């Protein structure tokens, strides 16, 4: 949001020339996207995969970059450096639609402003600083360089934002970038060549990028690398397909500005998710346990499993135990529900109806609206999340805000702008498609949803809260005590921490796998199948060793989401990945450090293989 003023959209797979998958594994997590990628590959689309693991499309990509956990931002700047140094970027796009040509004062790092408060650019025809033209306008403006602006009160040395960005990228020449990321210099060069020779360029990233100690700056580096290509919302780039115009029933308008200002974490991280009403687990735990900034005494939770999937699980369990009242809704009991005063049983997806307006991966999918109907009746006392929410609203005297308690009226309200009705959708179980077309380059005219109306190369918003206005990185620093960098991955047959308890024919409960390079394992006297303990500064987890010769020697990865006990091997939560994490988090978003954790592995006692 600090760069584009929006999300990243969706790759226009049918027209993309080169796709970069960064920290995401669609074959394991999003089958519809995986199918789009396979189809695009058949027509000749180039594919780059950036991941510590040789997983999913990495095995069949044109190029796989085996990045060390936590060094993605350095890689993005190194790639941008190659693009900038060789002139392989869309100069006109940068001049018209980004803050790259804006002048930044050397002495304070703030934008140079006119007497009327307008941001300034260097007019090459006049040889002086002038107010920046409106977004999208043409002007003989300098993109790079150092200049001295003349003002009535003196001369002001300044540089363009692009010049400052270029200098930051130049801090990561190939040799240094290779040493930090573990990727050979030639491979980084090949990636830059593929990106520049096979336009339009698109990318997609997910949790692999968002769970590092500098997640915001990593995202910024990747987004600015992408901005160089000029493919944003262009055919074949990252686009925003036209969505069905359903009404939101979230009810945000019911929250007064005074209440919204009390969101936990907002004062510490004003640019983070708290500004949109989301909070981090660390802020929740702090409010419950320490009463700061105010005490939280009750909690209503739907479907989350914080101790199994988020940072500091032991602190999380302590916080849940301290609540005066706690109600939790879920498919089945979990470690999150242990201390709940009330556990609401939630109906499974095939036991309840569900509305989906748009399916994301292309325009045809986004045009589809489907109302899934139940296949079987809910078992026992289970009911849908919607029924639970409506039932609670009725008990609390809030029926007027919940459509008088009428679920069908709520559906009609949501669907009304589309011209469809619940009855029409039920009569078409496969869904109905609206006549929607993709509108490209939507930023032309209104500009981007940023303070400048442009893509923010140099973020004044970050500067105001004391954060670097350009991407800046401290690399993860393993040491003799914790020489490895740990990361995690989801499994195809599980959804986060779900389904681990499901019985599988012929398979007993088992420890999560811990993957090491054979050379690293040999140095630690660990063999395939050995029980191991992984330790970090904050805790330890049990697992079973698996050897993978495609890993970097310093990388260890483990299965994510384990919380159940494994008979004769591990107590509840003893095999939980999240217990290795601590209080460290991204200073802008509050995202916890769940990847790139310095750790070590050691063989534990003899536990029989399962």
Given pLDDT bands bounded at 50, 70 and 90, which one contains residue 174?
Answer: very high
In the prediction, which pLDDT does 541 show? 96
Given pLDDT bands bounded at 50, 70 and 90, which one contains residue 609?
Answer: very low
Average pLDDT over the chain reads: 94
What would the mean pLDDT of 64-90 be, rounded to a whole number? 97
Contacts of 103 (CB under 8 A, 6+ apart): 111, 112, 119, 120, 121, 122, 129, 147, 149, 158, 159, 160, 161
> Residues, the chain, total?
610
Nearest-angstrom CA–CA distance, 543 and 577: 9
In the prediction, which pLDDT does 502 show? 63
What would the mean pLDDT of 1-26 be, rounded to a whole number? 94
Domain span(s) for CATH 2.40.40.20 in the chain: 484-603
CATH topology of domain 10-88+169-239: Dimethylsulfoxide Reductase; domain 2 (3.40.228)
pLDDT at 606 over 80: no
pLDDT at 495 over 90: no
Given pLDDT bands bounded at 50, 70 and 90, which one contains residue 48?
Answer: very high
Domain span(s) for CATH 3.40.50.740 in the chain: 252-433
CATH architecture of 484-603: Beta Barrel (2.40)
Given pLDDT bands bounded at 50, 70 and 90, which one contains residue 36?
Answer: very high
What would the mean pLDDT of 570-585 be, rounded to a whole number? 93
Question: Per residue in 315-338, pLDDT tens?
Answer: 999 999 999 999 999 999 999 999
Greater pLDDT, 285 or 497: 285
pLDDT at 131 over 60: yes
Given pLDDT bands bounded at 50, 70 and 90, which one contains residue 506?
Answer: low
Paired tokens of 233: 């919302």
Given pLDDT bands bounded at 50, 70 and 90, which one contains residue 605?
Answer: confident
In the prediction, which pLDDT does 608 show? 40
Question: Per residue in 374-393, pLDDT tens?
Answer: 999 999 999 999 999 999 99
Measuring CA to CA, which residue among 468, 465, 3 is closest to residue 269?
465
252-433 — its CATH code?
A: 3.40.50.740
Domain span(s) for CATH 3.40.228.10 in the chain: 10-88+169-239
Q: Which of 82-96, 126-140, 159-173, 537-551 shows the lowest mean pLDDT across its residues?
A: 126-140
Nearest-angstrom CA–CA distance, 490 and 56: 12
In the prediction, which pLDDT does 276 show? 87
CB contact at 8 A, 537 and 579: no
User: What's the distance, CA 85 to chain centroid?
Assistant: 29
In the prediction, which pLDDT does 37 show? 98
Percentage, residues of the chain above pLDDT 70 = 97
Question: Per residue in 428-440, pLDDT tens?
Answer: 999 999 999 999 9
């Amino acid at each position: 949001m600090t760069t584009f003023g929006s999300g990243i959209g969706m790759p226009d797979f049918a027209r993309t020339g080169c796709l970069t998958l960064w920290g995401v594994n669609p074959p394991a997590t999003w089958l519809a996207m995986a199918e789009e990628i396979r189809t695009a590959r058949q027509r000749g689309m180039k594919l780059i995969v950036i991941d510590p693991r040789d997983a999913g499309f990495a095995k069949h990509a044109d190029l796989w970059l085996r990045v060390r956990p936590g060094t993605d931002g350095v890689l993005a700047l190194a790639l941008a450096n190659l693009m900038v140094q060789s002139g392989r970027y869309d100069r006109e796009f940068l001049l018209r639609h980004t803050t790259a040509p804006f002048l930044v004062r050397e002495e304070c790092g703030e934008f140079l402003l006119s007497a009327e408060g307008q941001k300034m650019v260097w007019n090459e025809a006049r040889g002086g600083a002038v107010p920046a033209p409106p977004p999208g306008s043409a002007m003989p403006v300098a993109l790079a360089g150092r200049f001295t602006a003349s003002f009535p009160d003196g001369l002001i040395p300044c540089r363009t934002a692009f010049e400052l960005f270029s200098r930051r990228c130049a801090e990561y020449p190939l040799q240094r970038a290779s040493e930090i990321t573990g990727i050979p210099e030639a491979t980084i060069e090949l990636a830059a060549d593929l990106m520049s020779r096979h336009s339009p360029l698109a990318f997609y990233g997910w949790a692999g990028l968002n769970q590092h100690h500098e997640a915001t700056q990593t995202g910024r580096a990747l987004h600015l690398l992408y901005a160089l290509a000029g493919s944003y919302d262009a055919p074949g780039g990252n686009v925003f397909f036209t969505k069905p115009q359903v009404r939101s029933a979230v009810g945000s308008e019911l929250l007064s500005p005074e209440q919204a200002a009390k969101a936990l974490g907002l004062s510490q991280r004003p640019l983070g998710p708290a500004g949109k009403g989301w909070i981090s687990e660390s802020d929740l735990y702090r409010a419950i346990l320490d009463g700061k900034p105010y005490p939280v005494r009750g909690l209503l939770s739907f479907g989350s499993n914080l101790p199994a999937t988020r940072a500091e699980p032991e602190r999380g369990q302590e916080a849940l135990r301290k609540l005066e009242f706690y109600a939790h809704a879920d498919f089945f009991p979990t470690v999150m529900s242990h201390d709940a005063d009330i556990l609401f049983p939630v109906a499974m997806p095939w036991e309840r109806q569900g509305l989906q307006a748009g399916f994301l991966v292309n325009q045809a999918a986004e045009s589809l609206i489907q109302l899934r109907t139940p296949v079987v009746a809910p078992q026992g006392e289970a009911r849908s999340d919607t029924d639970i929410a409506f039932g609670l609203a009725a008990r609390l005297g809030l029926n007027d805000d919940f459509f008088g308690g009428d679920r069908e009226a709520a559906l009609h309200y949501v669907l009304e702008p589309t011209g469809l009705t619940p009855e029409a959708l039920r009569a078409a179980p496969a869904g109905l498609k609206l006549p929607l077309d993709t509108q490209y380059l939507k930023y032309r005219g209104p500009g981007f949803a940023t303070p400048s109306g442009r893509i923010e190369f140099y973020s004044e918003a970050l500067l105001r809260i004391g954060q670097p206005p350009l991407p800046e990185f401290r690399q993860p620093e393993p040491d003799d005590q914790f020489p490895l960098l740990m990361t995690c991955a989801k499994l195809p047959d599980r959804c986060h921490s779900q389904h681990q308890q499901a019985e599988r024919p012929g398979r007993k409960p088992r420890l999560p796998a811990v993957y090491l390079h054979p050379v690293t394992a040999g140095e630690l006297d660990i063999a395939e199948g050995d029980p191991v303990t992984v330790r970090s500064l904050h805790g330890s987890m049990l697992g079973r060793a698996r050897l993978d010769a495609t890993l970097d020697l310093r990388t260890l990865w483990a299965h994510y989401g384990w919380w159940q006990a494994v008979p004769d091997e591990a107590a509840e939560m003893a095999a939980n990945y999240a217990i290795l994490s601590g209080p460290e988090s991204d200073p802008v978003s509050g995202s916890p450090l769940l990847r790139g954790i310095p750790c070590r592995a050691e063989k534990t006692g003899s536990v029989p293989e399962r």
